Amino acid sequence: MEKRTDWYEHPEYYEAIFGTDTVREADFLQALSARHGTGGSQWLEPACGAGRLVAEAASRGMKVAGYDISEAMLAHARKRLTPAERRRVKLAPSRMEEFFEPALEGKVDVAHNLVSTFRYLDSEAAALAHLKGTRRLLKPNGIYVLGFHLTDYSRSVPEHERWLGRVGKDKVVCNTHEGLPDRRARRSPMRNRLRITGPGKDWLIETTWFFRTYDAAQAGKLFRDAGLSVVAAYDFDYDVSSPVARGSRRLDRVFVLRPDAGSVEQGASENAPARKVVAEAKKATPEKKVAAPRKTSPARKVTATKKLATAPDATPPTKKLATAPDATPPTKKPTRRRS
C-alpha cells in the first residue's frame, strides 16, 4: 500500500466523494441573491477548490472570481472550463486571509463559501482578516454566503463519517474523524483517510488538521467585529423558503452576511490584507429534527446510525461544483473543504 499525505493533490478522487451538489448549490445561491442581495452577476468564491461552482456559475452567465491555496485544485478548475467560460472567470492562488483584488472592490454581488473551509482559519485575527477583506469587495447590498457547523462544546463522543465513491475502475472509501472540541484553545482535531483501490493501485491518503470552533455567540461576535450583519440563516437543506428558526438547535448553518451600513466606506480606509493577489485573466421553539449532513472541509456527513449534537438553547437568532469525469457519485451525500 502506497501512503500519501494530501488529498487536495488528487482532485479527481476528492470530487468523487465531495462533488455531488453543484446544481443545487448554484440554484440556492441565485435564490439567496434574489431574495437578500442584488441579484447581480459578479460572483466571488473563496477557496474555490477544483472549480465545480466556478464552472457552474460561469455557465449561467455569471462573472466569477475564485481563489484557492492549492495549485493542483486550481489547475483542475482551469481544465474543466469551456472557452466561453474562461472568458468569464478569473482564478488566482491565495490564502483566505490574504486575498484582495482592487478591481473587485465594492463590486461583488455574491461571495460564497458553503462547506466549512472557513474553519481552517485558525485564529481570530485570520478569520477577521478574511471577513473584512471579503466585506470590502462586496457591494453595499451584496451578500457573503458562509456555511459551517457551529460547535457543541458539551459533546463527549468523537464523530466518525464514511462515504463511498468511484472514479472509473477505482473504488474510493473516505473516513473522516473529528475529535472532541477544546473550548479554551478554540479548536478540534480532524483526520481524513482516503483509501483508493483499483487495477494496480492501492493508496492510503491521510490528512490531519485542526478546525477552529465557534458556538453561536462566538460566531455572532466575529461577524459584528468584521462589520457584517446576519440578514438570514439557513441549514444544509439549501431551502431558501425555510430559514433557520429563532432558537433552532441545529448546528449546520449557512449565514447570509451583508455589510453593515457605512462599513464599505469605512473599509476603504483600512489597510488591505497583507498580500494583494491580482486575479489571473485566463483562466420559537427549538427544533427537534436531526441536523443535515455536516459540511466541513474535509467532508462532514453524519453516518446513518447517529444524530448530530444540537446547539444550546441559547443559540441566538440568525435568521456545497459537477463530479469528477467518469466518477460515480458517492452513496452518501457529503460535504467539503479547505483553503
- The pLDDT tens digits for 209-225 are 999 999 999 999 999 99
Between 310 and 192, the higher pLDDT residue: 192
Residue 205 lies inside a defined structural domain of this protein: no
Amino acid 247: pLDDT? 76
pLDDT above 50 for 167:
yes
pLDDT at 20: 76
Q: Tell me, what's the pLDDT at 249?
A: 86
Task: State residue 31's pLDDT score.
Answer: 99
Q: Give the angle subtended at the CA of 33 by the CAs of 29 and 35, to the nearest 5°.
A: 115
What is d(CA 191, CA 339) in angstroms, rounded to the nearest whole number? 16
Closest Cα partner for 282 from 78, 47, 107?
Answer: 78
Sheet holding 170-178, edge to edge: 2-4, 201-212, 187-198, 170-178, 159-167, 327-328
Judged by average pLDDT, the poorest of 34-38, 102-106, 246-250, 334-338 is 334-338
Going by C-beta distance under 8 Å and a sequence separation of 6 or more, which residues neighbour residue 265?
none
d(CA 91, CA 273): 18
pLDDT of amino acid 130: 99
Task: Give the pLDDT score at 157.
Answer: 95
Lowest mean pLDDT among 28-42, 176-190, 247-261, 316-330: 316-330
How many domains, in total, are found in the chain?
1
Over residues 68-85, the mean pLDDT reads 95
Is residue 12 a part of any domain in this protein? Answer: no
Q: Higher-confidence residue: 298 or 29? A: 29
pLDDT value for 242: 96
Residue 245: domain span: 17-152+211-288+305-327
CATH number at residue 103: 3.40.50.150
What's residue 262's pLDDT? 56
The pLDDT of 243-254, averaged and rounded, is 89
Residues 27-45: b if buried by 16+ CB within 10 A, e if exposed = ebbbebbeebbbebebbbb
pLDDT given at position 323: 32
Nearest to 48 by CA among 114, 105, 110: 114
Flag whether 262 is in a domain. yes
Q: How many CA atoms lie within 13 A of 319 on its CB side?
A: 16
Distance CA 288, CA 113 (A): 27
How confident is residue 179, by pLDDT bands cut at 50, 70 and 90?
very high
State the SS3 of 78-110: HHHCCHHHHCCEEEEECCCCCCCCHHHCCCEEE
Which has the minimum average pLDDT: 103-117, 162-176, 267-281? 267-281
Rounded to the nearest 10°, the torsion over CA 268, 273, 275, 280 is -60
pLDDT score of 129: 99
Q: What HEC string does the chain produce?
A: CEEECCHHHCHHHHHHHHCCCHHHHHHHHHHHHHHHCCCCCEEEEECCCCCHHHHHHHHCCCEEEEEECCHHHHHHHHHHCCHHHHCCEEEEECCCCCCCCHHHCCCEEEEEECCCHHHHCCCHHHHHHHHHHHHHHEEEEEEEEEEEECCCCCCCCCEEEEEEEEECCEEEEEEEEECCCECCCCEEEEEEEEEEEECCEEEEEEEEEEEECCCHHHHHHHHHHCCEEEEEEECCCCCCCCCCCCCCCCCEEEEEEEECCCHHHHHHCCCCCCCCCCCECCCCCCCCCCCCCCCCCCCCCCCCCCCCCCCCCCCCCCCCCCCCCCEECCCCCCCCCCC
| Res. 235: pLDDT tops 60 | yes
How many C-beta atoms surround the C-beta of residue 327 within 10 A? 21
Q: Residues 167-177: what's their mean pLDDT?
A: 93
pLDDT at 318 (0 to 100): 33
Mean pLDDT estimate for the chain? 81
* pLDDT higher than threshold 50 for residue 284: no
Note whether residue 91 is domain-resident. yes
Indicate whether 232 belongs to any domain.
Answer: yes
